[in-house]
A and B are shown apart, each in its own frame.
Chain A
Amino acid sequence: MEALIIEGTAKTPSVRFEAGQGTIEIKGRSIPENSIEFYKPLVDWLEEYGKSPAALTKVNIQLEYFNTSSSKCILDVFKKLEAIYKAKNEVIINWYYEEDDEDMLEAGEDYESIIRVPFKMIEIVD
């Protein structure tokens, strides 16, 4: 399966989804006015990936900012990962947040409480 690689912009994050290694990475800012457009290819890719996922899928989410429009799309991404996990594959979501960014930590905890996949909260210390 072909990797999904998208460069980051001022309003959208960088994306690196690699099926062979089972790595899913979203980094940067996610503040587009309409996030559906941006996230649709990501959700579609995961749908396809879910048909024959790696034994372990490692997910790294490292967002500096995200808007509420993105928050729902990120949940859609996590729901795809949850389906993979429920089908008895290993999935771990690493949620990175900057030092002292309690809002971003709390946002991760919100997702953790909705999605039945193991989360790891990782503080980035400079």
Chain B
Amino acid sequence: MQFNFDDYYKGLNKGNVLMAYHGNITAEWINGVLESIESKLDSANEDPKIKKKLYNVLVEGLQNLFHHVDDLPDEIANLFTKKFGVVVITKDCNKYIVSLGNFVEHSKAQYLKDKIDKINSLTEEELKDMYKFILNHQKLSAKGGGGLGLLDMARKTGNKLEYTFYQFNSNYMFFNLNVTIN
């Protein structure tokens, strides 16, 4: 699928939008988002269970972006930003959708796709076993990533992870992940 950012971003911003952002992903920005979403959910008197799950997904999703958004090459950075990422949260009836987007190299795209397909194929019990196995056997990366973020989102929400890879150029794809919390 050929990628048109404006169409893509417009497509995400439908219905009741709690927040929408596209730009550099930094630690300070993440702190601000977490704070503002938490206070929004508090003032909306959201069910504590939904609130916790959404907050958890957001923490993992934003930190995944932070860890995995590498410095983009100039050809992309000039059009977007150096550490470009997208986060949109919408609410539809009683369900929240967190959309996360970033550029990935073709070589990583396949790995990511396989990983998500694997996660989506597992039952609740199998997700738990895989989580415990990775927790106990895999070391943290230098950046502090544990390879557990996607797994945790699937496990906590009980929903499949929906993804799309858009063709951007010969080296990069744009990866979008939708996580539903209900």
Interface of A with B (CB < 8 Å)?
Answer: 10-11, 31-37, 65, 67-69, 71-73, 75, 98, 100-101, 103, 106, 110, 113-114
Contacts and interface: CB of A to CB of B under 8 A. Distances in A.
Contacts of B135: 71-72, 75, 110, 114
B103 to A, nearest CB: 20
Given A11-B31, A36-B144, A113 B53 contact: no
Contacts of A35: 140, 144
Contacts, number: 72
Contacts of A103: 52-53, 56, 156
Report the contact-size class of chain B (Cβ under 8 Å from the partner). Answer: 20 to 34
A37 B144 CA distance: 9
Nearest to A64: B52
Interface string B148-170: 11011000100000000000000
B60 interface: yes
Contacts of B151: 68
Contact of A68 (B31, B55, B149): B149
B59 A110 contact: no
B144 A10 contact: no
Most B Cβ at <10 Å: residue of A10, A32, A72, A103? A72
B149 A110 contact: no
Contacts of B140: 35-36, 69, 72-73
Given A68-B146, A72-B135, A110-B131, 16 more contacts: A11-B31, A33-B144, A37-B144, A65-B55, A67-B63, A68-B60, A68-B151, A69-B63, A69-B145, A75-B136, A103-B53, A103-B156, A110-B135, A113-B132, A114-B132, A114-B135
B35 to A, nearest CB: 7
